[in-house]
Amino acid sequence: MTKLRPQFVLFGDSITQLSFENGGWGAALAALYSRQADVILRGYRGYNTSWALLILDKIFPELSSPPDVVTVFFGANDAALPVPDGKHFHVPLPQYKANLHQIVSHIKSNSETTVVVLITPPPLDDEAWIEFRRANYNKQPEALPDRINEVTKLYAQACKEVAKEACVPVIDLWSVFQQTQNWRQAYLIDGLHLSVGGNRIVFNELVNVLNDILFLRADKLPMDFPPFGDIDPKNPGVAFQSWENNSNLAKVNILDW
């Protein structure tokens, strides 16, 4: 079935899953494109790229109308350390990079015109994350950390390398956050997950990609169905017929905009 509107799929871990909560970057994107595109959430708490590969065919099956934009936002869990508390999530760095390549290739194999946007993991506030684990998971002070920011940095760099090698855009969240002096307090709530401010940064960076690189401005994409001001209440069918005659939404290729 042909799509009425372009589809944006947000694929990732808990940072993506939480993005539709109040103040989330996914919710803000859906609001921005409320009459121009369908924003579809596919976020999975605790997932790494190896587990993402196991559901890839289910999320992105071979379709006659594949999504137009896909964000791929994994790495925060992959970067967990191979210690008792982190090995459940840990994916070795070379494997993480290979997994990202496979995810991008699979999405592109269904449609070369699908735009894939990679997002690096955000930086980790080591101390705040340790305190969060102690308070919520009863971890003792001497317990080994399951994540550290210096390792997350390596995964962020690998994500950028994949983007360059695959010729897809990337949002370097690890670096962008740290351009603000008080980024730990401003952008994170527990050392790992995003505050409203952090969500706003992701939203702004993604909109910049859609606007400046891919020309997917919300104000340039056509609306689905006529605005209420164009509808004559005495003869409403005229406006809808005019929209039908002048709109080609069912066959819109977003790369034309």
DSSP string, 107-136: HHHH-TT-EEEEEPPPP--HHHHHHHHHHH
Choose the catalytic residue: 14, 34, 50, 195.
14
User: What residues have CB less than 8 Å from 216, skipping those under 6 apart?
Assistant: 69, 115, 210, 254, 257
Please give the Cα distance from 11 to 226 (Å, whole number). Answer: 31
Please give the Cα distance from 82 to 136 (Å, whole number). Answer: 21
Instruction: Specify the 3-state DSSP secondary structure of 190.
Output: coil
Instruction: Specify the 3-state DSSP secondary structure of 53.
Output: helix
Known active-site residue 14: yes
19 and 26 in contact (C-beta within 8 Å)?
A: yes
Neighbours of 51 (CB within 10 A): 18
User: What residues have CB less than 8 Å from 28, skipping those under 6 apart?
Assistant: 199, 200, 203
Q: State phi, psi for 89 to the nearest 5 degrees.
A: -105, -20
The length of the chain is 257
Residues recognised as catalytic: 14
